[in-house]
Structure 1
C-alpha cells in the first residue's frame, strides 16, 4: 500500500520495528521504531522521557518526508 500511495505523488514514511518487512514491501522512507507492542513509545520510561522519545521519532519521520529518495532509505 505504501508504494501505491507514493505512485500518486504523496510521500510516505513507513515507521516500523521490523525494517526488513518495510524494505520487502517497497517502502522508500523507513524509520525504525522501538518495539512491536509499542512502536512509537516505551511505557517503562518516565512520562517526560517517553514524550521526548515520541517527539524524536515523529521529527525523524517528518524529516524523512522532506527528503527526496530514489530507493528504499532507512532513517536512523
Structure 2
C-alpha cells in the first residue's frame, strides 16, 4: 500500500518493526518501532516514559517525511 500512496504523489513514512519486510515491499522511508503488539509503546514502562518514546518516534517520522531520499532509507531512532 505504501508504494501505491507514493505513486499518487503523497509522501509517506512506514513505521514498523519488521524492517526486512518493509524493504522487501519497497518502502522508501522506514522508521523502526518497538514491537508488533505495541509499535509505539512499552506497557512495562511508566506513562511518562511511553509518552517520551512516542513523541520521539513520531518526531523521527515527521523528519523522515520531509527528507529527500533517493533510495530506501531506515531512519535511526536513538532514544
Q: TM-score, normalised by structure 2?
A: 0.93
- The alignment partner of 1:20 has SS state of helix
Aligned residues: 76
1:37 corresponding residue in structure 2: 37
The superposition leaves residues 17-49 of structure 1 with CA deviations (integer Å, 9 ceiling, x where unpaired) of 110000000000000000111001111111101
Map 1:1-76 to 2 at 5 A: 1-76=1-76
Following superposition, the deviation at residue 8 of structure 1 comes to: 1.5
Extract unaligned runs of 5+ from structure 2: none
Following superposition, the deviation at residue 7 of structure 1 comes to: 1.0
Q: TM-score, normalised by structure 1?
A: 0.96
Extract unaligned runs of 5+ from structure 1: none
RMSD in angstroms over aligned alpha carbons?
0.6
